[in-house]
Copies of this chain bind each other. A is one copy, B any other.
Amino acid sequence: MLVMALRTAVYEANMALQQYGLVTFTWGNVSGIDRELGLVVIKPSGVAYADLSPENMVVLNLSGDVLEGGLKPSSDTATHLVLYQNCPAIGGVVHTHSAAATAWAQAGAAIPALGTTHADYFFGDIPCARALTDAEIATDYERNTGLVMLEHLTVDDVLAIPGMLVREHAPFAWGETPKNAVHNAVVIEEVAKMALNTLLINPNVRRINQALLNKHYLRKHGKNAYYGQTSSKPSEK
């Protein structure tokens, strides 16, 4: 079988989604990419988590042609592919309908950076992409979902804010690996809950001081990071 290690990583990341309580039924999917081979591995569409295995993950090329696997890939595959095609730094993508983050997406609001929990992983607000137009919905809907996200992110620094909401829909997250993308999806849900509760306590809350945002983000990421034992990837430990 092709890319067995990546199949296993994508399988484990899909299972982790469920273990972290981010999915109900089959409402979530994780993919990963092998940049050298140009192969993407993704969860099959609508298959229960209990029935997943490394072997039934679906393998595609970057154009979306299925190369291996008897099952159809996730219906959101085209969205994942847009992110891989346009953002070379992305190694894994996650989509969920986790409850609190989805509420922010439905509200059409970015999740504001209100504290260090957020700043440890996201170098600014988590944006909410605009709603799709009727035309964008009518044709190539899933691909257009990826394209509206591109409007709201900085391709050259896509890992600085490794996730986004899509209006009227739900969150997406990404990372250097599938595991790291799941990690960021968990963070989005946690900060979404915290931000909602913060607003209920203080509707006029201000954003986190920019200096504190920088401090927390940079003590975990980049060349001067000092959190963790060795490097800037705390989520991989």
Which A residues contact B (CB, under 8 angstroms)? 24-27, 44-48, 71-72, 75, 97, 99-100, 102-109, 114-117, 131-132, 134, 137-138, 141, 168-170, 183, 186-187, 190, 193-202, 205-206, 208-209, 211-212, 215, 219, 226-229, 234-235, 237
Contacts and interface: CB of A to CB of B under 8 A. Distances in A.
Contacts of A228: 45-46, 72, 75
Contacts of A200: 103, 196, 199-200
Contacts of A45: 227-229
Contact of A25 (B138, B186, B196, B226): B186
Contacts of A190: 24, 97, 99
Nearest to A45: B228
11 contacts: A46-B227, A102-B117, A103-B197, A106-B205, A108-B205, A132-B209, A137-B215, A138-B211, A138-B215, A168-B208, A196-B197
B72 A97 contact: no
A212 B168 contact: yes
Given A46-B227, A46-B229, A106-B205, 6 more contacts: A24-B186, A25-B235, A27-B117, A104-B201, A116-B170, A196-B197
A102 B194 contact: yes
B211 A137 contact: yes
A50 to B, nearest CB: 11
A193 B108 CA distance: 17
A197 B237 contact: no
A97 B117 contact: yes
Contacts of A71: 229
